[in-house]
Structure 1
Amino acid sequence: MFRKLNIFAVFICFCELVRGECDVVTKKQWGGLQPTHVQYLPRPVDLVIIQHTATPMCTTDTACKNRVKNIQDYHMDTLNWWDIGSSFYVGGNGKVYEGPGWLHVGAHTYGYNKRSIGISFIGNYEKCDVVTKKEWGGLEPTHVQYLPRPVDLVIIQHTTTPMCTTDTACKNEVKSIQDYLMDFMDWWDIGSSFYVGGNGKVYEGPGWLHVGAHTYGYNKRSIGISFIGNYETDVPTAQQLNAVKALLRCGVENGHLTSNYHVIGAKQVLATLSPGRNLWAEIRTWPEWMDDVSSIKN
């Protein structure tokens, strides 16, 4: 509900920003780092490019400041960019946060940075039909590490927990998995990037943006998808399989996966039975399947 109510304020602030009338939270005010280099933007420009960050949405001043800081850290520390990418960022709290701003060239749209202003809405406005962590009642991670994207490897697994077939049962199962991994294993978060229930719904773990803990030695270069159940005996449903295929298509369309990504089972790179014989038999028929993993194996 808050998201729906606040979008009007965001829209008004965006319109005022374009007209040059909106109060902007300066880089100093949100605690941003100074750029390592600047290039001045010829002005006035005649092009504004709208984007989204594909990160979780923020709705409070503190959360939005932290989100912009995290984005800048990722851009500068991991991608080795001069500064945060977009000219401005718009939070769900209705405030605009300064990036390179009006004066400096940003890094938001390859080939258009030197002649446009890039405005990014903080959030993921393409859900890929995923039940978000907030929606299933998940805990926030104690730490995050950003995943370099796009990735070209998807690893399919199973949880070896009881299968779930209703929304309530699947939410509770994902909660139980997260509680076990965080409370007893002392992990930062739930392990796999996504979980798929027998109800045909996909549940967000670390998601597209963050490194998961699903396949030792491969977490920093892959997406891990776990089917809830034990597929040595359980049989994957058509709804599950279709949901994962749709998720992967969405991943390509939104730049999280390369167009030539490969799908493998966890047993191909680890000493495990996962994803279970029944799921294994299914994924081996997919066109993205990689049979010979010698070129990617650690």
Structure 2
Amino acid sequence: MTDPEANRGLVVIAAIALGVVGVALLFKGMDFLVDRLPARYQEAVRPWVFVGPAVFILGIYLVYPAINTTVLSFKGRNSQEWVGLQNFTDIFTDHDSLISLRNSLLWVIIVPLFAVGIGLAFATLADKLGRRAEATAKSIIFMPMAISMVGAAIVWLFVYSFRPPGFGSQIGVLNGLWTGLGNNPVAWLLQEPWNNLYLMIILIWLETGFAMVILSAAIKAVPEEIIEAARIDGANDWQIFWRVTFPTIASTVVVVATTIVITVWKVFDIVFVMTGGNFGTSVVAQRMVTEFFTFRNAGHGAAFAVILFVAVIPVMAINVRQFRIQEERR
């Protein structure tokens, strides 16, 4: 497998085969050992034996890095000397860092609000279409989800593209329309603070399909008997939606919103590709990567990572709570 001349396809197939066979032999061997234990211990030990490898790998790739990053956040830029809370003090007193925190909070508020709202509207309207029309509409709206954030950013670069007068015709969709109306071209991504909103539109475009699909499934799960009872009582479609459908799917709406919030906190690709975090568009995740790999300041980068981690924890707790509520209702 280390031979650079080896056929890559065969190497991949061999690696997959060895991995599958290795895992199968591992679990078979552990099951064999558990069967040799006294009967009173077997049922108590067996679940832990099978979960053990996954927990071990999870610990190596998730728990250890989280602990190590937290330790690094209390050290200097070279991870040598202890500086206590100095990295966090620097972040919360630095103008550029405060801008990134402010922008991230705006992303967390605006993107989930519009993505869930538009997704819910599409899901509700699509539910009233015929089967074929509904499938077509949903496919079109969900299609952006198949694009990576980098790919989506590149697509939208052509939407916001700007060329100063005298440097050729405008290839950006927006400037093409804008100049077609007799106006001068606009450098959309340089327009502070509106450029943040222009970047948010990209993620809203990506996440709307996700919200629509999940909420559409929740809407279809609303018992038809309840809706018919509301109609018999004289409720119109608007009243049925807000007083019957929405309260029924409220827990799903919360789960979708919190899932999008987690995605928003981690957004890096869009900002990096579109503006590189310049022109007042930096966010926490982008600053974290910049501090680590551009400024070579491990302390500040780790501190941004810890802030990101702490911000995501309550959102995940809400998500888990909503999952438990849904399970109890079932």
TM-score normalised by structure 2 residue count? 0.21
Give 1 or 2: higher helix fraction: 2
Give 1 or 2: higher strand fraction: 1
Larger radius of gyration: 2
